[in-house]
Amino acid sequence: MTESLTVRDNRTGAEYEIPIVDGTIKAADLGQIKLNDEEPGLATYDPGFVNTASCRSSITYIDGEKGILEYRGYPIEQLAEKSNFLEVAYLLIHGDLPSKEQYEAWVHEITFHTFVHENVKGFMQGFRYDAHPMGMLMASVGALSTFYPESSRIDDPDNRHIQIVRMIAKMPTLGAWSFRHAQGKPYVYPDNELSYAENFLSMLFKMSETKYAADPRIAKALDVLFILHADHEQNCSTNAVRSVGSSQVDPYSAVAAGIGALFGPLHGGANEAVLKMLRRIGTVENIPAFIEGVKNGEERLMGFGHRVYKNFDPRAKIIKKACDDVFEVTGVNPLLAVAKELEKIALEDEYFIKRKLYPNVDFYSGLIYEALEFPPEMFTVLFAIGRAPGWLAQWLELVQDKEQKIARPKQIYTGPRTLDFVSAEERWA
Ligand code: CMC
């Protein structure tokens, strides 16, 4: 079998042979297909990059048809069941599971970088009382570059390492403080005797008690949710991190861009949108009318559908199980009945079957977050904390990849040309 593509340009009759490598052709190879030497070569048009690979990556494997997700080759189901978030973070960043010494050193490093400079607290306090916590997180992560100006030395491996540690360590602190801010409560400093998830819960919920003791089932569920969100190959926010990172800016600025992308309702903001949707539907009786609205194009069933998964999102299955664990502690969220019935009806409906629309990671996660007493605005912050190791692993891969270039897509220009400028004075006369 010849690994190449023969292309015949019917405009000119010319034939070209283009190599196929790893199931792809190089878009640049199409540039040789031209009408004449004056015209630009053929390019591809791919809004939303639906069929364009932007990089080679050995971090996350997804088979959307079969519903498979693996980090560095390990199935998500096994990691969620047997590992913990910091071990998964190590795996994503370093490419391999840690030895005992490596694991202990890693956990120690992350734990001892959880504090932020006092001035960070100062400027976070300057946000409006009702600031969205994602806006606060995005701004404060971006601002970390000003506290660590050496982070711009992205060619130095030791320097890269310490910034990665800092970011994973400080995200919960910044996320928790943005939550406390909206409630007018004092910010809680990290407690380095606690695990990653317990410490986060302590910074979120601690009041006058000397030590905050999270329910271990809640801490475990949160840790699992972080694992499920830790990476998802070239999604919108990861692409934002890579795109911004390709300018060789420091990792805080690149990750801040990722947080901005995640904020949107079609991406990480979907879990917030799901909960608002479920509240709007309110009761099981209102579901058929809502589904009709979706089919008529007046509504979108948030938490359903995925660019890659054309089968069950494997993360949604694990989250459904985590729901049961959390509800054992908090009591069942009454919206669970609405969500389950909505899923049942949608999975039997021709509209959703035909389009291969299944529940995604965001369909049930919001219910857990609400049961944990997070306001919907905080949901995407939780997603961002979980996704940080993935963004950083992708950033690390990018900056070491010799094939990468500054991201700079082409466009098809559709505007006017060579107009003669008429001054304002003449136009308005
Ligand atoms: N509800 C109703 N119809 C839908 C939905 C939905 N949630 N998702 C897709 N469709 C329809 C869409 O209208 C289109 O129909 P038609 O062919 O008749 O025009 C068809 O399905 C294909 O959809 P698309 O918009 O071309 O698919 P996409 O790959 O561009 O979009 C998506 C993927 C996730 C943005 C989209 O499914 C969506 O908006 N879902 C709701 C938001 C959501 O849950 N997002 C979280 C994604 S998972 C977490 C993450 O990775 O961030």
Q: How far apart are CA 3 and CA 167, in angstroms?
A: 43
Q: What is the pLDDT of residue 114?
A: 98
Q: What is the pLDDT of residue 376?
A: 85
Asked if residue 266 has its Cβ within 6 Å of ligand 1, the reply is: yes
DSSP state of 386: H
Asked if residue 261 has its Cβ within 6 Å of ligand 1, the reply is: no
Say if CB 200 and CB 374 are below 8 A apart.
no
Angle 290-292-293 (CA atoms, 0-180°, nearest 5)? 65
Distance 386 CA to ligand 1 centre (A): 23
Instruction: Say yes or no to pLDDT of 312 above 90.
Output: no
Q: What is the pLDDT of residue 296?
A: 94
Mapped onto helix, strand or coil, the DSSP state of residue 69 is strand
Asked if residue 237 has its Cβ within 6 Å of ligand 1, the reply is: no
Catalytic site positions: 267, 306, 362
In 335-415, where does DSSP find H-type helix? 335-348, 350-354, 362-371, 379-400
State the closest ligand 1 atom to the C-alpha of 355, by its place in the atom list counted from 1: 21
The average pLDDT across 126-142 equals: 97
- Ligand 1, atom 9, lies closest to the CA of 305
Alpha-carbon distance values, 111 to 145, 192, 193, 200, 242 (Å): 20, 6, 8, 11, 27
| Residue keyed to tokens 């000119």 | 12
Report pLDDT digits (tens) over 143-159: 999 999 999 999 999 99
CA dihedral 204, 206, 211, 213 (to 10 degrees): -70
Q: What is the pLDDT of residue 271?
A: 86
Residue in 237, 274, 307 to alter for ligand 1 test, most ligand atoms within 8 A of Cβ: 307
> H or E segment at 5?
strand 4-8
Report pLDDT digits (tens) over 223-270: 999 999 999 999 999 999 999 999 999 999 999 999 999 999 888 888
Angle 262-294-283 (CA atoms, 0-180°, nearest 5)? 90
pLDDT range class, residue 111, cuts 50, 70, 90: very high
Report pLDDT digits (tens) over 31-66: 999 999 998 999 999 999 999 999 999 999 999 999
The two tokens of residue 85 are: 């978030």
pTM of the complete model = 0.92
Report pLDDT digits (tens) over 331-379: 888 888 999 999 999 999 999 999 999 999 889 888 888 888 888 889 9
Asked if residue 355 has its Cβ within 6 Å of ligand 1, the reply is: yes
In 83-206, where does DSSP find H-type helix? 85-94, 100-111, 118-125, 133-147, 157-183, 196-205
What is the average pLDDT value for the chain, to the nearest integer? Answer: 95
